[in-house]
Structure 1
Amino acid sequence: MSGEIQGRADSGGRVYQASGDQYIVEHHHHSDAGSIAWESVASVRQPTGGRAPVVLRDRTELMEHLRPAVAPEASNQIYVLHGMGGCGKTAVARTPFEDATADGNRIGLWVNAADRTSLRSGMLAVAADRGAAEGELIAARNGLRAPADLVWDRLGSSDRPWLLVLDNADDPEILQEGGWLRASPRGTVLVTTRRAAARWWSHAELHHVGVLPQEAAAQVLCDLAPESGTMAEAAEIADRLGRLPLALTLAGGFLSHQVIDPWSMAEYGHHLGDRGGAEFIDQGASALGREDARHLITRTWQLSLDALAGRGLEESTALLRLLACYGSDPLPLTILNSPQINNVVPRTRADAALRGLLDQSLTAMVDPGVRCLQSHAVLLASVMASTPGEQITEFTGTAARLLAAAVPAIPQRGPQDLRLSLLAPHTVALLRNSSETSVVVEVLEVAVRLACALHRTGDYLSAWELASAAVAAAEPRLGRAHRLVLSAHSRIGRALFRLGRFEESEAVLRRVLAEREGLFGPDDPDTLDSCFGINYPLQELGRVAEGVALLQRAADGRKRVLGREHPLTLQAHALLIEFLPVAELALEIDGAVMPLPQECALHLGSDHAVSLGARLSYAYALFRLDRFEGAVEEAGRVFADYDRRHGPDYALTLAAQQVYARARAALGDVNSAVEMLAVVVRRREQSLGAQHPFTAQAREHLEEFRAQAAARLAD
């Protein structure tokens, strides 16, 4: 959990040791709304994870060990702060970070390494800070350039020495498998983690961060709530809380927040003693001795909820249990603005309930470009663990319906949408938290729809990651033969194709086609969708006839099942004319009652995505038939329309520009073709990577036309 705690001592600042694993990842866009979603970290120059401490309690010896990390000549070192969650590792890391940056001679860089998404976003923001070009970042974001290599290349060539803090690195596997943790002669790395095993931290200097001594722990409570009791009373409460900084912070925040009927420390201790048995809320922690106080956090936040209930905000408990169904990443606030929330919290009371949670620091407001809530993972886990079993289905079901309302029913093509990107980790978390089969089905349907939406905005890597995680969470409970599970596998195959992994894509889509046909029949819409989708990798793998046959089957089947005027039928016919043999293509186009683009516009409207796609397919068909004047005219218009609607970097915009350039070259305007294809190559290198097959294809055309232009000059 993170956010402001209303402590009154020393200007209301949070005590140092309490930041611990309470953190906020803030994501800000530093460019237009259409910018890339991964440019969403507010700052890597400032620590996250709570306020800086007013007073440093204890840790003196540890600070002495860390002082060499920020010495002027320090470099090529990795320091690891390890200990249980809530012990103040993040707070400890702040002191060397602030010391390192105080004189301006060293840059401080702070990254939340709690999960793959936050780590990757933060490290790419570090690369951007150290001078990485936009094209390099786009390629890394799409998984087509090793992102860790880019980051460490930029760090290694930094013009100033630096201190990099990798905070909350509680899953060291993601550091190892991504190659994110390295030493550098240009700076020092400081890691905070719960995992202490030396095998994870080779070549690093390890330092344990434990609970506080009694006197220092008591002083923490007095710092936050100086008017609530004596040092002796504070020491007693500190001992009951196991002297864990996170628990002390929550207790001090609770005591300092009481206004109408403030509790003393003695009263707090009495109520604390009245609570039920303790339980470990962090299942990922190693078994510890009786002095471990992690389990007391559950009691502490429950006291805060009891206080809210005493103020007439019983709904705050229900709202927090609803939030616990999701993950600890930023959650768009608009998700709560839906009638579906009435199932667990009256919509008219939701705002008051949320204000209560914010007042008690049980959640926090963050702004990654849209207003969001963020709660700490430890808190959410403890809340979910303590939710009565008979209520879990009600809360997860409501959470599923709130997600469903936030994801477009029919995803549209367009620029990347930050709100959709932010929903992905919560969809996966909800799948994992759901136990009722009916709720798992609801959430999986949202996951498939969201993966499709991400795909259509060009965020292919996120679409693949979401669909893969959804399959891993849902398939063991629903079975491979479930229709939605197969749909999620299909989304994996489609995303793999766009990432240039054609063999893998074909293999996945081939299995899905066989399973759908066996389970649902040859004319089922899902089976026909598989026939349509597998054509893409088959064409790129050189199996043209096989792809055309399956695409023809999709077109004929959709016409039979859905009707000639259905968007999916028209879409299949439009794609078919891109791949038919030239002899058949001429008969298809010349024998049509009206050109396919006109037919699509008649039934769907000229602005429909299928109509626009049909125009691109038609332009390419004219090019294949050597009808270059018509191809230039049609391709030029559709390129302009894609550019206007989706921007110059969108995949279909570049595809239309490439057709337009090739048609212009065929009419003798080679110089214009070279100019346009140079743009296509550059933009594909930035978004897909230099080695992506689509980039290589455009580069081949560019080299061909440059050779033609050179030959003409020689003549």
Structure 2
Amino acid sequence: MHNLSHAHAPILGRDAELAWLDQVVREGNSVITQAVHGLGGVGKSTLALHYARAHRQDHTLTWWITADSPERITAGLAALAERLQARPTSHVSTANQATWALTWLQTHPGWLLVLDNVEDPAHLEPHLGQLDAGHVLITSRRATGWRHLAHPVRIDVLAPGPAADLLGRASGHTSPDHRPALTELAADLGYLPLALEQAGAYITRHHVSITTYRERLAHHPARIHATPARAGQHEATVARVWHLTLDSIAAQDPLAVRLLSVLAWLAPDQLPRDVLTVLGQDVLAVDEALALLADYSMITLTPDTVSVHRLVQTTTRTIDPHDPHRTQDAVTTARHHATALLNAALPDGDPEVDLGAWPRWKALLPHIHAHAALTEPRHDPPGTDRLFSMTALFLARQGQTDLAVAYGERAVHTAARLHGTLHPDTLASRNNLAMAHQAAGDPNSAIPLHESVLADSVRTLGPDHPYTLNSRNNLARAYHAANDVDRAISLHESILADSARVLGPDHPLTLTTRNNLARAYQAADDVDRAIPLHESVLADSARVLGPDHPLTLTTRDYLASAYQAAGHLDRAIEVFESVIADCERVLGPRDPQTLASRGGLASAYQAAGDLDRAIPLHESILADLERVLGPDHPDTLHSRNNLGIAYWKAGDAARAIPLHESVLADFEHLLGPDHPNTLATRDYLASAHRAAGDLDRAIPLYESVLADCERVLGPDRSLTLITRGNLASAYEAAGDLDRAVPLLETTVRTAERVLGPEHPSTTVFREILQRALTGDG
């Protein structure tokens, strides 16, 4: 005997759950009670129905009761009594009939009782306590409260494959050609069976394509989720099921519904729980509200995080004037509250250098991304500008520069709309956007922005305000990045004097300015001033900030680079190797600073002639930079150039030439034909052709590069000097001593004056000149 409804089609993707239920039932000797719980629409009732129908022959009686209230439980038991007695029982009360049914179940083993959609476990206590034989299968949205009543088992959404199968069957789109679209739509719907059934039915009934349905879903989610899979079944829709659930939750704790509305504006997975209390909310009240939401399977709760099904989020944040939980005011308030919570949850301090805050930033970042994607800039409330501006700084430090610029631009537009262009918050957002452009290797965008921020800071805050001093430092760095070294040095020197006077010699901004000035000296080929300054900054930074502070690590990297520029390769390699070990320990192996130090070490190995260690290191760095910063970032292009140099120095010009050609095209597009990076790449390409034995292509290229270097940089800059020496060496290799010897003599004299007589490059040029003069070719 049974009262089961018809199962419309074989169940998909639930083999493991069905097998587990079968095993539990077969192994039990006394009454076995299982409570299958999960999110509304996840398929609990479908699973129970298919199990019951598949094992109908294993039970003397299979009886299904819709158990969402005490009254309906009693009515279901009364219906069982009437069926068992096979005679009219209209003169007997429903309560007495239910009691008769329970008595029968006590005395007749071998039955299966399915209690579907139980609202409250307490409703079952009067009945289950009387049963000591047979099997009881319960479905419920409630995850807790079962205690001694039943063993709760969570059922989750379908796996991607079975979800796409179910959607294909429901929509009639089962051909392999439809599989990619089915997979995408199943993901959109969060693999929720009820939503998949609704989608398939809509596609079939309305004769639309999967692509069209996704468009409808994106623009009209409330109406789509309210459309039943079969005509007349409006109770069985995602919208209706969750509306009823929220009604139940709201009746017990309105805060729980408000929290769910806030969660709808964040990422679905692993929000740190403390974010929900950073504005001083009652921690115990929030704990209780979250527990209630977890009880109804609307969220997944761990000791540290909260997760929400993405379809719950979509439905919750969709305005529906007929749903009191989703009115315009309720949805807007929740969105603004999510912004405020994220803003308050941000770590204090500078996201570029506060390493202890990075794990917090990384935990919040998915939720910031989701919030930005779900909200429109024109609706950004106060606080959004700070949230996105600080995020831009963190992303730039992590090497995600395209995202950093996008966040920076949105922050500037929002701050200007909310506060005006001269407000300190707007100035901060404009500065951070300029820094993001600079990190992206785009000084042409950074410099005008830095200049305007500095002018406005002087006018509104004064010349000695710390913010103004920092703006001057950032502008000087941008000048350096754009190869305007003379202006960078002059500005850094003036900032250093003012920063030491206003903030003191040990202030981080003063230390940073000294470091930047030393770096600028090195760029101007003045290593005699760069090295002592780097060494003093390193000592002070380690004393004031600690040996593991990012500024200390960066200074060690700069010092190693200065040692290499001065020809002290052994010292450079030693410092690079030690700073890399510390960077990997403190920052991680893929951090941009770690990668920069590894690149410096590879170049030092290369300069020392150790190509066996240089080439594999260059190759691994390039792969990491392409993954972390992207293939077009300036640091990636430099790395590709360095690998090309190592290849042609190792005699593999065939691999070097395409690398240099691609980098040259990228630098010309990104920086222009006269930028030092572009000029250097042309010199590298000429050297690769020479290494390939193609002097007819190498010499004209050297000649054109030398002319441009002398015009743009001047005759005494290191790049000009090296290009002149390379051209002279090419003349000598071609047997054109009449042009080689005078050019080499000029090169040696200039190298001795600019680089010093003992510099490795000076020694090489001197040896080539001697060879040309003696004819020892």
TM-score using structure 2 length: 0.53
Deviation string, structure 1 residues 418-464 (Cα, Å, up to 9, x no partner): 4131231366489979999xx714x5334333332333333333333
The reply to whether residue 420 of structure 1 matches residue 359 of structure 2 is no
Question: In the TM superposition, what are the counterparts of 1:314-329 in structure 2 within 5 Å?
Answer: 314-320=254-260, 322-323=262-263, 326-327=265-266, 329=268
**Do the aligned residues in 2 keep the contact of 1:562 with 1:569 (CA within 8 Å)?**
yes
User: Separation in 1 of the partners of 2:184 and 2:598?
Assistant: 51
Mapping of 1:293-692 within 5 angstroms? 301=246, 303-308=247-252, 313-320=253-260, 322-323=262-263, 326-327=265-266, 329-330=268-269, 332-336=271-275, 338=277, 340-342=279-281, 346-360=282-296, 363-365=298-300, 371-373=306-308, 375-380=312-317, 382=319, 383=325, 385=327, 387=329, 396=336, 400=340, 403-411=343-351, 412-413=354-355, 418-425=362-369, 428=372, 440-441=382-383, 443-580=384-521, 584-587=526-529, 589-590=531-532, 595-692=536-633
Inter-partner Cα distance in structure 2 for 1:619 and 1:571:
17
Q: What code does the residue aligned with 2:219 have?
A: R
- Gap change, CA 1:96 and 1:71, over 3 Å in 2: farther
Matched AA of 1:340 = L
Higher relative contact order (CA 8 A, sep 6+): 1
Q: Is the 8 A contact 2:415 2:425 kept in 1?
A: no
Secondary structure at 1:219 match in 2 = coil
**Paired letter, 2:293:** L
AA matched with 1:596: V
Q: Is the 8 A contact 2:389 2:433 kept in 1?
A: no
Deviations for 1:366-405, whole angstroms, at most 9, x for unmatched residues? Answer: 89x964345524423545755589x959x95796256423
- The AA in structure 2 aligned to 1:250 is W
Per the alignment, residue 40 of structure 2 pairs with 4
Whether the aligned pair in 2 keeps the contact of 1:622 and 1:630 (CA below 8 Å) is: yes
Distance between the aligned counterparts of 1:401 and 1:75, measured in 2? 40
The alpha carbon displacement at 1:523 in A equals 2.6
Q: Give me the CA root mean square deviation.
A: 4.8
Q: Is the 8 A contact 1:431 1:444 kept in 2?
A: no
Shift in Å, 1:410: 3.7
Match of 1:595, SS?
A: helix
Q: How many residue pairs get matched?
A: 488
Percent of counterpart pairs with the same letter? 21
Q: Are the structure 2 counterparts of residues 554 and 678 from structure 1 closer, same or farther at C-alpha, using a change threshold of 3 Å? A: farther
- Aligned residues of 1:493 and 1:505 also touching (Cα < 8 A): yes
> Deviations along 1:577-636, whole A, 9 cap, x unmatched?
1221557541354479x6321221112211112111111111122222223232222122
Code of the aligned partner of 1:379: T
Q: Distance in 2 between matches of 1:371 and 1:564?
A: 46
Higher relative helix content: 2
Q: 1:446 to 1:335 in 2, by over 3 A?
A: farther
What is the Cα deviation at residue 9 of structure 1? 4.5
Q: Distance in 1 between matches of 2:627 and 2:198?
A: 39
C-alpha displacement at 1:531, in angstroms?
A: 2.5
Instruction: Give runs of aligned pairs for residues 41-440 of structure 1, distance below 5 A.
Output: 45=161, 47=163, 67=172, 69-72=173-176, 91-93=197-199, 192-194=217-219, 216=230, 218-221=232-235, 245-251=237-243, 253-254=244-245, 301=246, 303-308=247-252, 313-320=253-260, 322-323=262-263, 326-327=265-266, 329-330=268-269, 332-336=271-275, 338=277, 340-342=279-281, 346-360=282-296, 363-365=298-300, 371-373=306-308, 375-380=312-317, 382=319, 383=325, 385=327, 387=329, 396=336, 400=340, 403-411=343-351, 412-413=354-355, 418-425=362-369, 428=372, 440=382
Measured against aligned partners, the alpha-carbon deviations of 1:625-674 in whole angstroms (never above 9, x if no partner) come to 22323222212211222123233322111211222222233333343223
Q: 2:569 touches 2:608 (CA, 8 Å); kept in 1?
A: yes
Measured in 1, the distance between the counterparts of 2:294 and 2:378 equals 26
CA shift in 2, pair 1:609/1:328, >3 Å: closer
Change (3 A) 1:697 1:8: closer
Report Cα offsets for 1:109-140 as digits up to 9, x if no partner. Answer: xxxxxxxxxxxxxxxxxxxxxxxxxxxxxxxx
Quote the Cα distance in structure 1 between the aligned partners of 2:634 and 2:491. 23
- 1:174 paired residue number: none
Label 1:623 to 1:348 Cα distance change in 2 as closer, same or farther (>3 A): same
Structure 1 pair 165/647, CA: closer, same or farther in 2 (3 Å)?
farther
CA contact (8 A) 1:454 1:460 kept: yes
| Consecutive unaligned residues in structure 2, runs of 5 or more | 1-37, 50-157, 320-324, 653-690, 694-776
CA distance in 2, matches of 1:629, 1:404: 49
Matched to 1:355, the amino acid is A
Q: CA deviation at 1:246?
A: 4.2
Structure 1 residues 632 and 210: alpha-carbon distance in aligned structure 2, compared to 1, 3 A threshold: closer
Tell me, in whole angstroms, the C-alpha distance in 1 between the residues paired with 2:224 and 2:376.
31
Q: Which amino acid aligns with 2:259?
A: L
| Deviation, structure 1 residue 5 | 5.4
Q: How has the CA–CA distance of structure 1 residues 166 and 464 changed in structure 2, closer, same or farther, with 3 Å as cutoff? A: farther
Contact 1:335-1:402 within 8 A present in 2 as well: no
Contact 1:622 1:631 in 2 (8 A): yes
- Aligned equivalents of 1:79, 1:658: Cα separation in 2: 42
| Shift in CA distance, 576/94, structure 1 to aligned 2, threshold 3 Å | farther
Contact 1:365/1:371 (8 A) holds in 2: yes
Distance 1:195 1:80 in 2: 18
Counterpart contact for 1:496–1:505, Cα < 8 Å:
yes
- Preserved contact between residue 427 and residue 446 of structure 1 (Cα < 8 Å): no
What is the DSSP-based 3-state SS (H/G/I as helix, E as strand, rest coil) of the residue aligned with 1:422? Answer: helix
- With structure 1 as the length reference, what TM-score do the two structures score? 0.57
5+ residue gaps, structure 1, are 14-41, 54-61, 99-163, 171-190, 197-207, 225-244, 255-300
- What is the distance in 1 between the residues matched to 2:630 and 2:279? 42
Judged with a 3 Å threshold, the aligned counterparts in structure 2 of structure 1 residues 359 and 608 are, in CA distance, closer, same or farther, namely same
Deviation at 1:692, TM superposition (A): 2.8
Greater CA deviation, 472-481 or 427-436?
A: 427-436
Aligned residue in 2 for 1:199: none
Q: Given the superposition, is the C-alpha separation of residues 501 and 329 from structure 1 closer, same or farther in structure 2, using an over 3 Å criterion?
A: farther
Q: Distance in 1 between matches of 2:232 and 2:512?
A: 69
Change (3 A) 1:413 1:638: same
CA distance in 1, matches of 2:183, 2:619: 46
* Paired amino acid for 2:175: A
In structure 1, give the amino acid aligned to 2:273: T
